Structures are given as C-alpha cells and as structure tokens.
Amino acid sequence: MTALSLPRPTRRAAFGKIVLNEARLTWRGPQGLVGGLALPVLLLAIFSLISPFRRPAADLGGLTPLDVYVPILIVLGLALLALYNLPTPLATYRELGILRRLSTTPVPPSWLLAAQGIVNLCVAVIMVIIVLAESIALGAPAPKNLAGFAVAVLLAIVGLFPIGLLIASVAKTGSSVGVIGRVVFFPLIFLAGLWWPRELMPGALQAVSTASPLGATVQAIQASAQGQFPPAAPLLVLAAYAVVFGLLARRFFRWE
C-alpha cells in the first residue's frame, strides 16, 4: 500500500469513494442492517414488554433480566456484523472477480477490506448507541463507567472483526459465508448467554464462556455497566482473538 504512486489527494478521494459505495451497498443490501442493527433493537423492545424481565431477580444479583440482556443484545448485534455483514460482501467480491479487477487499477484491493471494516464499524457504533438509548428509555441504568464501556465495545469489535475476515478467507462464495457464519455464530452466542445468562451458568461453562470472544465481551460490558473498568481477563481474551485471527486472516485471505 505504501508503494502507491498516486498523489495523496487522489488517494484520499479514491478511498472516500470506495467507502461511500460500500456504505450505499450496506444501506441497500437486503440483510445488511436487519441482523446487525434492527434485530437487537427489536429484541430489546420485545423483552421490555415481558413483565418478569423488568423485576429485579435475586439470582442475577438484584439486576432485572432486562439489565442483563442489554450487553447480550449489544453482543448479538456485534457478532452478526462481524460474522455475516463483514465477510459476505468480501467473499462475494472475490467470487465476482471484483478484487481481481481492482488489483489492475492503481488502487489496491485491500482498500475494499478497509472500507468494509469502516462501514461495519460505523454501523456497530450506531447500533450500540441506539440500543443504549433504548435501554435507558426503558428504565435500565446507563453504564456507570462510560470509558470502560467504550473500551469494551471497541475491543470487542477489534476482536470479532478478524474472525469475520478469516471466514471471508475460507468461504468460497458469498453464500457459503452464511453457512460458516451460522456454524460459528450459534455456539458463540450461546456462550454469550443469549439463552442462559452467564450468571446462571455452572462454573466450568462460565470459564469457557469467559474464554470465548462473545462471552468475554459480555463480561467486559457488564462490568462497565456496573461502574467498574472492565477486568483484564476479558480484555486480554479479546486482544488475543484480534491478534491470532488477524494473523490467520492475513495468512489465508485470497484475492482471487
């Protein structure tokens, strides 16, 4: 990327156009914003209508199930963005020969990866803000440690997106991303506590959950919601996923 011979303003304009077109595709895509954005927002609204969800529960440490589910739903959105929204277009572009076509222009095809990353990062941030605002409107407390919350969310994105890039590396077509994504998504979201909150998991399962990317994210976000800076363990887990999967994706990503 550094060997580019184009002048800097041209490069900046070119990258801007690529990001703009990726944003348009995300906006126009059929599934694009449903899973990663609409689903957590809708689920939170539905959960708030179930009255037991709004009563504090002793086995949840005095929290309401709704409070417990806010981080889980944020993680659900992040996981869908990372495991489906990010890799699907990349695998499709390779399948259609777009990455190959781009590599005959002065602009490297890796910019398309970067643009997809930026667009999904923006969608993720918007999703988190909407879910947070919605939860506060529904009576859940705002995160008491906002900086810790931001660190947890950003590190989750940094840890989860490389997993999506690895899926884009091994998937032959855009539609096979859906298959691989599903195989990866369901165990991970189970460990995050979508069906069985982490607080209620037996000790061994909770340890596995903490070592999983989505479980670590839930743990980090919950800690910040309750006023602490996220503990080192989940942050280190996420950083490890970022490094390992980042290197694997770099090693295995094919441009054609």
* Contact positions vs another protein (CB under 8 A): 3-7, 10, 13-14, 16-18, 20-21, 24-25, 28-29, 89, 92-93, 96-98, 100-101, 103-107
- CB count within 10 Å of CB 59 equals 9
Kindly tell me which of 96 and 207 has the beta carbon lying closer to another protein.
Answer: 96
- CB count within 10 Å of CB 12 equals 11
Shortest Å, Cβ 165 to another protein: 19
- CB count within 10 Å of CB 227 equals 11
Kindly tell me which of 51 and 104 has the beta carbon lying closer to another protein.
Answer: 104
Shortest Å, Cβ 21 to another protein: 5
Kindly tell me which of 61 and 106 has the beta carbon lying closer to another protein.
Answer: 106
Kindly tell me which of 19 and 165 has the beta carbon lying closer to another protein.
Answer: 19
Residue 127 one-letter amino acid: M
Kindly tell me which of 21 and 175 has the beta carbon lying closer to another protein.
Answer: 21
Kindly tell me which of 229 and 255 has the beta carbon lying closer to another protein.
Answer: 255
Angle at 150 between CA 143 and CA 159, to 5 degrees: 125
Shortest Å, Cβ 168 to another protein: 15
Shortest Å, Cβ 96 to another protein: 4
Shortest Å, Cβ 15 to another protein: 9
Residue 204 one-letter amino acid: A
Shortest Å, Cβ 34 to another protein: 15
Is residue 170 within 8 Å of 252, Cβ to Cβ? yes
Q: Is 193 left (phi over 0), alpha (psi -120 to 50) or beta?
A: left
The secondary structure of 79-135 as a DSSP string is HHIIIIITHHHHHHHHHTTHHHHHTTSSS-THHHHHHHHHHHHHHHHHHHHHHHHHH
> How many whole angstroms separate alpha carbon 85 and alpha carbon 83?
6
